[in-house]
Amino acid sequence: MTPREGLILLVSALLTLVLLAALYVVGGYVLGRKFGTGVLLPLWLVTSSITGGLAFRRGYQPYTVGSPLHPAQLWLAAGLGLMFFLAFGLATLSVRGRLRADPDLRPSAMRVILGILAFFCGLAVVLAMFLVLDVRRLFTA
């Protein structure tokens, strides 16, 4: 993979995550206004289970058909699953807090951006854990 292809892949992945977070936040506002904030918990569990499960499955697939799975690969896959649970959880808390203050609140651009930022904070927490583990491994090896 060339550096240009890698950059294109990174940008497209970030845009996909922004779109996913925006759809989730807007959907949270719409469903929260219609059914109350109690619907946000099942929405979070279902959405994060699907995306976390897909990330877990993708992270735990062997690179080639005959290669054995390494235990570190399981931890990486579990971290990917956890990352989406935390990211959608923080986005849900962002939506829930605003809807509890005003149940008739409509999603504006600023509210959606704040929900997206909460989503990315959840991603950053788990990625920071991976970074700390990698740095620790560098100094103990």
pTM metric for this prediction: 0.85
Report pLDDT digits (tens) over 59-86.
666 665 666 667 777 777 788 888 999 9
CB atoms inside a 10 Å sphere around CB 132: 10
CB atoms inside a 10 Å sphere around CB 54: 13
- Could you tell me if 123 and 33 are in contact, meaning their C-beta atoms sit under 8 angstroms apart? no
CA dihedral for 17, 119, 54, 128, sign (positive or negative): positive
Report pLDDT digits (tens) over 17-45.
999 999 999 999 999 999 999 999 999 99
- Could you tell me if 121 and 90 are in contact, meaning their C-beta atoms sit under 8 angstroms apart? yes
Radius of gyration of the chain, Cα coordinates, nearest whole angstrom: 18
